[in-house]
Amino acid sequence: QSFKRINEVEGKVQAFLTLDEERARAKAKALDDKLALGEGKGLLFGMPIGIKDNIVTKNLRTTCASKILENFDPIYDATVMGKLHEAETVTIGKLNMDEFAMGSSNENSHYQVTRNPWNLDTVPGGSSGGSAASVAAGEVLFSLGSDTGGSIRQPASYCGVVGMKPTYGLVSRYGLVAFASSLDQIGPITRTVEDNAYLLQAIAGHDSMDSTSANVDIPDYVSKLSGDVKGLKIAVPKEYLGEGVSQEVRQSVLEALKVLGKLGAEWEEVSLPHSKYALATYYLLSSSEASANLARFDGVRYGYRTQDAQNLIDMYKKTRAEGFGEEVKRRIMLGTFALSSGYYDAYYKKAQKVRHLIKKDFDEIFKDYDVVIGPTAPTPAFRVGEKIDDPLTMYANDILTIPVNLAGVPGISVPCGFAGGLPLGLQIIGNHYDESTVYRVAHAFE
């Protein structure tokens, strides 16, 4: 079914970097055989799933949409892949993204620009653009993305699907190619909230292979989708409906709040006073971490190596100069500068302090409220090419998703209307490890 649909639409959408048809068919057959023998079914038995190409998959090319990992076939599976195997999903292939997850439009992929299925002239968002577009186009039922500063929620919003960034530490990062380790989190992208809860159920849980993995009980998310939000307290930060947010987006959030109000929830305006510093803090910290994480791509250990080098140092330099794209180089330079001696205290350390204040803003709000609600992105999907020459405008697009990563709390994007034929997303943010409440609100609204 999946491959039939892929044949029909993939030429236009271009969501996949690698398709794994032969193995997918063999796996589906093996599952059928198992069923015929009367054995039990896994949680997601037979469900076709696509995987963002920064999650390592054993013997299945994993490029991070970078030239530097052009022919990289990992020798092990990420922990989430093992969990999907237990749940009995069928992996269809690997999905396009911005190179090393740096970007908001998929235009930073070395290979291709995925298109938004709702309007092929617009971007699908990023960096998990392939993950969101493939679900929206019906090529797969589920996909996995990763979210460091909005990369699951923003593309979900642009493509009209449901995308969850779980609490930092809820899903193992073992086998997720690191961009900014203190912010990265894997999460599910699906058509419905219920599907999303099922997929998170399958991939969440403690993992001794990831030292930042949380040892917490995983509740039964699906059983908590009661539709009941009576008496629930919603905080709406005034910073999330202010300057830069388009009129249609603001209107769609107010409409959503009306719906939730009718269902018995109450909302009030609040303030996240430090959110104005979130963008600067995020780009400084994430680039610093990226500059350290990406040091491992040196032409020796994996992937691409330059053809003409005079000596070892020359080989390192040329490999990296030829292998990384523009945006990745920009972040490595920014991060290396921020971490260099003499600047560390002024930039990196200061950004860490501001990050703490941003987290405290959320802690204060969750003392009195159950969820925080706002838009996922300031506008609907923009046109391919519209922002690519202006990195700062592209960065500014992440203003509403980034505070959530800095605070480490969970956030979901659910479809909440259209503007000019393009979907809009509502962002629902919860307290640490309170994915259940986030899902409950999203489900009641859906």
Which parts of this chain interact with ligand GLN (CB under 6 A)?
A: 101-104, 127, 147-151, 179, 286, 398
Of 184 and 195, CB closest to ligand GLN: 184
Residue 153 vs 443, nearer CB to ligand GLN: 153
Known active-site residue 151? yes
Packed helices 435-445 and 193-203: angle between N→C axes, nearest 10 degrees: 160
Least Å distance, CB 387 to ligand GLN, is: 11
Catalytic-residue membership of 105 = no
Nearer to ligand GLN, 179 or 267 (CB): 179
Q: Which is nearer to ligand GLN, 154 or 213 (CB)?
A: 154
Nearest one of 212, 178, 186, 187 to 331, comparing CA atoms: 178
Residue type, 205: G
Return the C-alpha torsion angle 187, 189, 195, 197, nearest 10: 20
Nearest-approach distance from CB 363 to ligand GLN, in angstroms? 22
> What is the sign, positive or negative, of the torsion defined by CA atoms of 410, 237, 123, 102?
negative
In whole angstroms, how close is the CB of 429 to ligand GLN at the nearest point?
15
Smallest gap, in angstroms, from Cβ of residue 326 to ligand GLN? 13
Judged by beta carbon, residue 27 or residue 52, the one nearer ligand GLN is: 52
Count Cα atoms within 13 angstroms, Cβ side, for 241: 21
CA distance 189 to 163: 4
Kindly state the helix (H) or strand (E) to which residue 337 belongs, with its residue range.
helix 326-339
Based on CB atoms, which residue is closest to ligand GLN, 63 or 89?
63
The CB-of-129 to ligand GLN minimum distance in angstroms stands at 10
Helices vs. strands in the chain: H and E counts, helices first = 14, 11
Please identify which of the residues 105, 109, 127, 131 carries the catalytic annotation.
127
Smallest gap from residue 364 Cβ to ligand GLN (A): 25
Tell me which of 66, 104, 151, 157 is the catalytic residue.
151
What's the residue count for the chain?
Answer: 446
| CA-closest candidate to residue 144, choices 59, 86, 211, 83 | 83
104 as an active site residue: the answer is no
Q: How would you class 371 by CB atoms within 10 Å of its CB: exposed for 0-12, middle for 13-18, buried for 19 or more?
A: buried
Nearest to 114 by CA among 11, 203, 28: 11
Which residue is nearest to ligand GLN, using beta carbons? 151
Q: Are 75 and 153 in contact (CB under 8 A)?
A: no
Provide the H-helix boundaries in 303-349. 312-323, 326-339
Asked whether the beta carbons of 47 and 191 are under 8 A apart, the reply is: no
Annotated catalytic residue: which of 2, 27, 52, 288? 52
Output 139 or 398, the one with its CB closest to ligand GLN.
398
In one letter, which amino acid is 268? E
Distance CA 421, CA 295 (A): 43
DSSP letter assigned to residue 95: E
Residues tagged active-site: 52, 127, 151
